[in-house]
Amino acid sequence: MAGDRGSIRKHESGGGGRYGAPVNDDVEPLPQIEMLRSSYIPVFKCTMCARCCAGKVISLFDTDVRRLGEYAESCTEQMDEEEMALTGAERKMRMVDGKCAFLKEGRCTHYDLRPDTCRRHPFIVTRRHVLTASTCSGIDWAGRQLRGTELLRLSMRIAPKIDAYMEALAEERTGRRG
């Protein structure tokens, strides 16, 4: 699988991130959040494996909850404190037997109502960072794509928390080195 940690490899210098401050040119695994950081957005084609619809925290912000309409109560649940601190969201999609409440026979039963988290998956793109889900089977690290603006918009609500997480991680690493 192209996105597996086992296949992480070095890339030629890209001259820094396209969405703000330069980021590391290597694809780097991040602790805790099962994502990889890179200096560009890799090419992606969904293989419909539905892996991202199981055992995941699917963050819901107010626009997502509004979009869910009649399903907003029955198909969502409260985040725990750690999830809230990491995402900034208060609610998430409800998991039934470890799978999203909307997932049936490997397909999203309400695709047009899916939250922004699913619309941007497997990416989180902030002004400073490009993160890619390490478990996604549809990533081709050999190619680069230009869908950044839309991904940036779809990541907008989670971006401050992710940037804070990345800062804390960098500080922790600096502290360890110092």
Other CB atoms closer than 10 Å to residue 167's CB: what's the count?
11
Collapsing DSSP states into helix, strand and coil, what is residue 2? coil
**Which of 23, 40, 129, 138: binder of ligand SF4 (CB under 6 A)?**
138
Residue 47 C-beta: closest distance to ligand SF4, Å: 4
Are the CB atoms for 27 and 141 separated by under 8 Å? Answer: yes
User: Binding to ligand SF4 by residue 79, rule CB under 6 A?
Assistant: no
Q: Residue 7: in which H helix or E strand, if any?
A: none
Cα separation, 64 vs 71, in Å, equals 11
d(CA 120, CA 64): 13
Q: How far is CA 115 from the centre of its chain?
A: 12
CA distance 124 to 132: 7
- Comparing CB distances to ligand SF4, the nearer of 24 and 78 is 78
Binding ligand SF4 (rule: CB under 6 A), the pick from 118, 125, 162, 166 is 118
Is residue 51 close enough to count as binding ligand SF4 by CB under 6 A? yes
Q: Report CA dihedral (65, 124, 83, 30) to the nearest 10 degrees.
A: 170
* Among the listed residues 27, 33, 52, 159, the single contact to ligand SF4 using CB under 6 A: 52
Q: Min. distance of Cβ 113 from ligand SF4 in angstroms?
A: 7
Nearest distance, CB of residue 49 and ligand SF4, angstroms: 4
Choose one: 30-38, 117-125, 141-149, 155-163; the region binding ligand SF4 (CB under 6 A).
117-125
Q: Is 84 in the site for ligand SF4 (CB under 6 A)?
A: no
Q: Under the criterion CB under 6 A, does residue 48 sit at the interface with ligand SF4?
A: yes
The only residue of 36, 100, 124, 151 in contact with ligand SF4, by rule CB under 6 A = 100
Q: From CA 130, how far away is CA 113, in angstroms rounded? A: 25
Return the half-sphere exposure (C-beta side, CA atoms, 13 A cut-off) of residue 139. Answer: 25
Looking at the Cβ atoms of 31 and 98, the one nearer to ligand SF4 is 98
By CB under 6 A, name the binding residues for ligand SF4: 46-53, 58, 93, 100, 102-103, 108, 114, 118, 121-122, 136-138
